[in-house]
Amino acid sequence: MFIDSHAHLNSADYKNDINEVVKRAQDAGVEYIINPGTDLETSREAIELAEKYDLIYAAVGFHPHDAAKASDKLLEEIEKLSHHPKVVAIGEIGLDYHYNYSPQEIQRKVFTKQIEIAQRRDLPIIVHMREAESDTISIVKEEVRKAPNWRSSIPKNRYPAPKGVFHSFAGDSSLAWKVINLGFYISVPGVVTFKPKVPQKSKIVEVVENVSIEHILLETDSPYLTPVPHRGKRNEPAYVKYVAEKVAEIQKLSVEDICRTSNLGIYKLFGIGKFPEPTISYKIKNSLYLNITLRCDADCWFCDRKGEALVKGHNLKIKKEPTSAEVIEAIGDPKKYDEVVFCGFGEPTIRLDVVKEVGKWIKQNGGKVRLNTDGHGNVINHRNIVPDLVGVVDSVSISLNSTDPTQYGEMMRIDGEKYFPAMIDFAKEAVNLIGDVTMTIVDLTGGDEKKARLFVENKIGAKFKNRPYF
Ligand code: SF4
Ligand SMILES: [Zn+2]
């Protein structure tokens, strides 16, 4: 199910066929549409549409183009409108130094005042930023700093509580990370489907490559920015599927993965939709992952195990550990998947019996099994467990994290001198007895990828993989 996080359906372009446009959106699987205002009148119209159609929600605010009109009195009206139950954000607001329809100084004042409305109302903001990156970021940064309680009730992971979205994002990856670290999503429009004029990647394609889908929302920005294959014609929310398909292609995920993850972002930010139930098995691309425990002997600083334990829109925060029978039930037919993977936010070898029982069952039923592990299973179980895994798993992925025991210990917040060599012994034994072993490091900026690759390939004889840090 798709969500179009940004469409101006009160635009005159739809005055003759809004019903058909909404119907086509529903037929295309669009579950919700967020319709932002651009001044007082369009904010009222956005609310009217939200009252008329269940799937439409509204945002209210003055666009930077209209900032010159935004007197204090009209901003008070905006604040009043924001109490409407279907108003989910203040937007769209921001700075536009490309057209400069309103003087820049007024744009900055009106932007700041509207962020303050959002803070008083504890609502998120929808930000428009065009050729005004440094001013936009510095205003947002300052407003975030001044209001530590803004959106603080939202459950946090290692990123700040989400406070808004930079819609129709047009910056590069480094700007995207700045925005994300301030507690904002970036939203991707149909521009991502455009063929670049020169034979190189467009900026937005590069951003989508480098930023996890966890931080990305989808939008059409209807009636503008119509995606391929309808480019040149009027845009409409039904076309958000083309955006999703392109993002899925770039991220090498399924459309379902993209929508599930970004819809959870919409839920966290705007409170629209629902929070997923905790799950024992979860599908990403065509692999099925098994979430058998939240316990771990390590405590990696980058792990969300003790936080929300969300991964690609799946909720892994199980209340109790499942029995083998429950895991098997949650798998269904293992032949349907490329592989079934013991994974989750926890160390599977803590429940070695379950791994063995379920792994055997999967193989008997024609499935392929992979174990994702921190490689501490021998320490955890006080013996060499690799022989137990023969005939149970087809392949093993081990988090190497670092080739330096001290750094390894620091990252995982454990005794590196003890666990690093134990992990290496486990890996070597797995190469000998199981064969198909991959060691991964998290792609942190400036990591020693080359060194890690040589170490894994030459010293251990395993495959090497750099997995992205999200
Ligand atoms: S080893 Fe894995 S599950 Fe355990 S804390 Fe680290 S990242 Fe989380
Ligand atoms: Zn807009």
Q: What are the residues facing 289 on neighbouring strands?
A: 282, 341
Q: Ligand 1 test: best mutation among 290, 347, 350, 379, most atoms within 8 Å of CB?
A: 347
Ligand 1 contacts CB of residue 414 (under 6 A):
no
Q: Atom of ligand 1 at shortest distance to CA of 412?
A: 6
Q: Which DSSP state fits 366?
A: T
64's tokens: 């930077």
347 and 296 Cβ atoms separated by less than 8 Å: yes
25 and 187 Cβ atoms separated by less than 8 Å: no
Q: Convert the pLDDT of each residue in 349-369 to its tens digit.
A: 999 999 999 999 999 999 999
Nearest C-alpha to atom 3 of ligand 1 is from which residue? 346
Q: Ligand 1 test: best mutation among 157, 294, 303, most atoms within 8 Å of CB?
A: 303
Band the pLDDT of 445: cuts 50, 70, 90.
very low
Query: Closest Cα partner for 438 from 373, 348, 382?
Result: 373
Write down the pLDDT at residue 156.
67
334 CA → ligand 1 middle, Å: 25
Whether the predicted pLDDT of 449 surpasses 90: no
Q: Is 0.85 surpassed by the pTM of this model?
A: yes
Whether the predicted pLDDT of 157 surpasses 70: no
| Average pLDDT taken over every residue of the chain | 93
Q: What are phi and psi of 184, to 5 degrees?
A: -125, 150
At 327, the amino acid letter reads V
Nearest ligand, CA of residue 37?
2
The distance in angstroms from the start CA to the end CA of the chain is 23
Whether the predicted pLDDT of 198 surpasses 80: no
Q: Convert the pLDDT of each residue in 31-69 to its tens digit.
A: 999 999 999 999 999 999 999 999 999 999 999 999 999
69/198: higher pLDDT? 69
Q: Atom of ligand 1 at shortest distance to CA of 299?
A: 5
Domains of the chain: 2-270 (3.20.20.140), 281-468 (3.20.20.70)
DSSP strand pairing (2-4 vs 30-36):
parallel
